Amino acid sequence: MYARDSPDTLPQKFLEQEKPYKKFEQFAEEVTTPKTSGGDKGEVDHLPKVLYLAIAFLLIFSAYNPVQNTVSVLFGQLGEDYLGIFAMVVVNQTYGIASLIVPIVGPKLPPRIVFACSSCCFVAFIYIGKLISSCAAESTSLICQSYFIYTMMMAASILTGFGLGFIWFTGSIYIQACCNENNKGRMFGIFGAIQQSSNLTGAVLALVLLKWFGVSGFFFCQALIGLLAAVLFTRVKNPSEFSQQEKVANQDPVTLRKLMHFMARPKMKGFYPLIMLSSYSFGFLVSNLSKMSANTVSHLPQDEANVKVSYVLVFFGVSELIASLVCGTIFDKSKELAVKIMIGFAFLASILDCLGYNFSWYMMFFPIGFCFGFLDSGMQVLLGALLSSRFTEKYEQFAIFRFVQGLYQAFFFLVCLFLEKISPQLMFVVHFAMAVYAWRAKKGY
């Protein structure tokens, strides 16, 4: 009656029962041990997180980018010629300052909270734009007085600058945590391709909304899209690096003094020429691409002219999508070739800008928009992947990059405004000179 528990059968019994326990232990180890981003396995684990984050970024920047790209034209039509440039200068100055604050504060907060709160800052900017757009140039109401308009726009721009600083720094760290040394270009490229598609989707939205709902309806719909993005950000999944709060506690805290020392390092300073070129290209893009293309169709009715400008921005958006994928792929194969291609587009853009302006040819702004798609989207993918590859630090290089970029962009907005009044051709000369400077310093990247 005890045969089944005899010493001869016990080892086989326990051997048979050991297999499920081994499987359970393996499963428990897999789910409790943080996944690394090394190898193909890490890429498979984290790619869905990168895709979800990219889609949320796509939505928020589909709401914000067309407002940013057309604000100087739309506000100019209301009699406030400098309000758009003023807003962008304040946004980028604040963005630079916020980039020094976020590595001190940001790592202590869940990424989804940072993303959602930053999105609300963009929505505030868009909503203030809606209030201003409801004013006619001759309106005498309080909200439409110049001093009140500039005050509201300054407050919204400061909020947006902080939002940009927090969302881009946290996004860069998030993507870095999701990739390894062999797929940095691909992961940054996939994220950049989806996120930078916002210039395409945003331009299409602007084209449709401005045509059917006017300027005020355009701002209102963009604000609703921004709120939807904020909701999606609350569902962002954390990479393992963010889920271990004890890691943050045990790390050496990032301080302002530490960031200042890092900014002065020769290795970091070697990137400044490329960041400078990227910033000037962006400043010129935002302040002049819409305006210069609008000047070529100024003889048309206002609504029709806005639609024509939107066609250029749609083409620009298509090139941003292409640029992110192409640049990320090239980067993984040859970092040096990716750098040369990006600087080459700067040379080409400066020449085409000069031709388009002097001949006032509307069709010329389509290849110009294509070049700026690479200078904006492709350059951001390139810089993000380069910084992630060249430095072992987790936060400092991205904080300094965003800080320097923000200050350069604010400065170059003013430079473009100044040169536009003196001699617009000088803007193209400066752009070409920036490209020469970046080319000569390319060994430092």
Closest to 278 in 3D by CA, of 382, 198, 348, 191: 382
pLDDT, tens digit only, all 445 positions of the chain: 444 444 444 454 444 444 444 443 443 344 334 444 444 444 445 788 889 999 999 999 999 988 876 666 666 666 666 777 778 788 888 988 998 888 888 778 888 899 999 999 999 988 887 877 777 555 667 777 777 878 888 898 999 999 999 998 888 888 888 877 677 777 877 888 888 788 778 878 887 887 788 777 888 899 999 999 999 999 988 776 554 443 444 456 778 888 889 999 999 999 999 999 999 998 888 778 888 888 898 888 877 887 788 788 888 878 888 888 788 888 888 889 999 999 999 999 999 999 998 888 899 999 999 999 899 888 988 998 898 888 888 778 888 998 998 889 889 988 988 898 888 899 999 999 999 999 999 887 7
CA distance 71 to 361: 22
- pLDDT recorded at residue 350: 95
Closest to 434 in 3D by CA, of 367, 355, 346, 370: 346
CA distance 307 to 419: 27
- pLDDT recorded at residue 7: 46
- Token pair in block for residue 21: 């326990």
Please state whether 141 falls in left (phi above 0), alpha (psi between -120 and 50) or beta.
Answer: beta
Total length of the chain = 445
The C-alpha angle 283, 144, 66, rounded to 5 degrees, equals 35
Contacts with 220 (C-beta within 8 Å, 6 or more apart), sequence order: 130, 213
- pLDDT recorded at residue 283: 86
- The model's pTM: 0.71
- pLDDT recorded at residue 99: 87
Q: 10 Å Cβ neighbour count for 17?
A: 9
CA distance 328 to 324: 6
Crossing angle of helices 39-76 and 83-105, rounded to 10°: 150
| Cα Rg of the chain (Å, integer) | 25
For the stretch 162-195, what's the b/e string if a residue is b when 16 or more beta carbons lie within 10 angstroms of its beta carbon? bbbbbbbbbbbbbbbbbbbeebbbbbbbbbbbbb
Running DSSP on this structure, what letter comes out for residue 253? P
User: What CATH fold (topology level) applies to the domain 45-236+252-444?
Assistant: Growth Hormone; Chain: A; (1.20.1250)
Contact 50, 184 (CB under 8 A): no
CA distance 444 to 274: 10
